[in-house]
């Protein structure tokens, strides 16, 4: 480990990698750098790579917690008005709406896409499309069995459509995904799938 000069390095306390000092933020209040002391002391213990990743995941966590809190508050208010629960705290203490569990579930939905249409539920930093669905409003709002996170379109449409139409829609989503996969794996053989798309009729599929 070089102790001074432009090639001075430091080992990150988080990932263990050894990097040039430029890859560590300055510690302290951003005052003048004291050139006489060991420069490594003037830099933070974690490298910029690790700090950025940790900051980003903490920021995401805070945003998702806000979203979960807001969803629980909104549903609590509504369910209380409907007389389903006695007080808003019931959602957490009686029906298992734990914030940690909710945040985990939102994260999973962001990672895997909507459980119904499988389309992505986020764009950049917008989590607006992840919504909480009460599966059966006639049953008690137990989080483990009667709550699911899905995209806002599916959430709205599921409650608008009849059970039959919703069931048919689910099957067609599966068929559509299969067709997408087929076209991807063999564009020529499955070119007929795109033949009804007017604007693409004369274009090759790749």
Which residues make up the interface to Zn ion (CB under 5 A)? 12, 14-15, 47, 50, 114, 116-117, 151, 154
Q: Which is nearer to Zn ion, 106 or 117 (CB)?
A: 117
Sequence-distant (6+) residues with CB within 8 A of 182 are: 189, 190, 193
- Measured torsion, CA atoms of residues 177, 179, 181, 183, in degrees rounded to the nearest 10: -150
Least distance (Å) between residue 194 CB and Zn ion: 23
CA-based nearest residue to 143, from 104, 88, 91: 91
Q: Which is nearer to Zn ion, 74 or 177 (CB)?
A: 177
Q: Which is nearer to Zn ion, 21 or 85 (CB)?
A: 21
**C-alpha distances out from residue 201 to 177, 198, 205, Å:** 21, 5, 9
Least distance (Å) between residue 67 CB and Zn ion: 17
Least distance (Å) between residue 170 CB and Zn ion: 10
Least distance (Å) between residue 113 CB and Zn ion: 8
Q: Which is nearer to Zn ion, 14 or 69 (CB)?
A: 14
d(CA 64, CA 159): 25
Conformation bin of residue 79: beta by default, left when phi > 0, alpha when psi is -120 to 50: alpha
Tokens of 112: 């895997």
Least distance (Å) between residue 32 CB and Zn ion: 26
Q: Which is nearer to Zn ion, 15 or 59 (CB)?
A: 15
In terms of Cβ atoms closer than 10 Å to its own Cβ (0-12, 13-18, 19+), residue 150 is buried
């Amino acid at each position: 480990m070089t102790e001074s000069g432009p090639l001075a390095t430091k080992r990150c306390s988080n990932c263990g990698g050894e990097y040039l000092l430029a890859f560590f933020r300055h510690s302290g209040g951003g005052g003048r750098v004291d050139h006489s002391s060991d420069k490594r002391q003037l830099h933070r213990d974690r490298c910029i790579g690790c700090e950025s990743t940790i900051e980003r995941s903490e920021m995401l966590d805070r945003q998702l917690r806000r979203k979960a809190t807001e969803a629980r508050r909104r549903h609590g208010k509504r369910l209380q008005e409907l007389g389903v629960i006695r007080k808003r705290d019931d959602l957490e203490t009686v029906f298992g709406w734990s914030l940690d569990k909710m945040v985990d579930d939102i994260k999973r939905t962001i990672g895997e896409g909507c459980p119904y249409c499988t389309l992505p539920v986020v764009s950049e930093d917008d989590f607006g499309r992840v919504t909480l669905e009460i599966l059966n409003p006639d049953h008690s709002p137990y989080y483990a069995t009667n709550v699911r996170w899905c995209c806002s379109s599916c959430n709205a449409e599921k409650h608008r459509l009849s059970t039959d139409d919703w069931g048919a829609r689910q099957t067609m989503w599966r068929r559509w995904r299969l067709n997408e996969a087929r076209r991807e794996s063999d564009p020529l053989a499955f070119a007929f799938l795109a033949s009804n798309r007017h604007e693409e009729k004369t274009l090759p599929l790749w």
